Amino acid sequence: MPNRNKQKGNRFEREVTNLAKEYSIESKRAYASNGLSLGHAEEVDVLLSTPDRDWRVQCKVRKNIAKWIKPDSSVVDLQVVKEDRGEIYAILPYDDFLELIADDEEYRNSGQEKLDEERDIYAQKRDEIEHEIKQL
């Protein structure tokens, strides 16, 4: 008889991988849920690749997750948690996370466009000032 928890975990890993692909994010699922097959630590289940970096993902599926840890999306966008003297963790819906990392390249390009526009404005103002000086 197959192990239902293993099957559930495999389904969840496939879901995580396929959702990332819907956002045009390259994603690979580790063979046999073993990150060593991807060249990473054994705990890595999925690798998401963006222009900025690779995201090593460990997938955990449970029957229930504590209600206090899940953000109420009608009130907040992000839940931030920390244990005493511990590291801070951000919890947000997976789709929101995918949107953030999928937009990396677009964000970088829009920043460059803004810089280019500012340079053009300053160049235009400089030219206007030089023209006015020549008129004197």
Residues 40 and 57 in one domain: yes
Number of domains in the chain: 2
- Which of the four pLDDT bands, split at 50, 70 and 90, describes residue 11? very high
pLDDT at 111: 55
Provide the domain limits for residue 107.
103-136
User: What's the length of the chain?
Assistant: 136
- Which of the four pLDDT bands, split at 50, 70 and 90, describes residue 98? very high
Q: What is the pLDDT of residues 115-130, one digit of tens each?
A: 778 788 888 888 888 8
pTM for this prediction: 0.69
Q: What is the pLDDT of residues 49-68, one digit of tens each?
A: 988 889 999 999 999 988 88
- 8 Å CB contact between 47 and 31: no
How far CA 119 is from CA of 23, 42, 84, in Å, comes to 33, 48, 47
Residues 71 and 112 in one domain: no
Residues 59 and 32 in one domain: yes
- Which of the four pLDDT bands, split at 50, 70 and 90, describes residue 105? low
Amino acid at 113: E
Residues 127 and 110 in one domain: yes
Residues 113 and 82 in one domain: no
What is the spatial distance between Cα 37 and Cα 25, in angstroms, rounded to a whole number? Answer: 20
- Residue 110 pLDDT greater than 60, yes or no: no
Residues 8 and 56 in one domain: yes
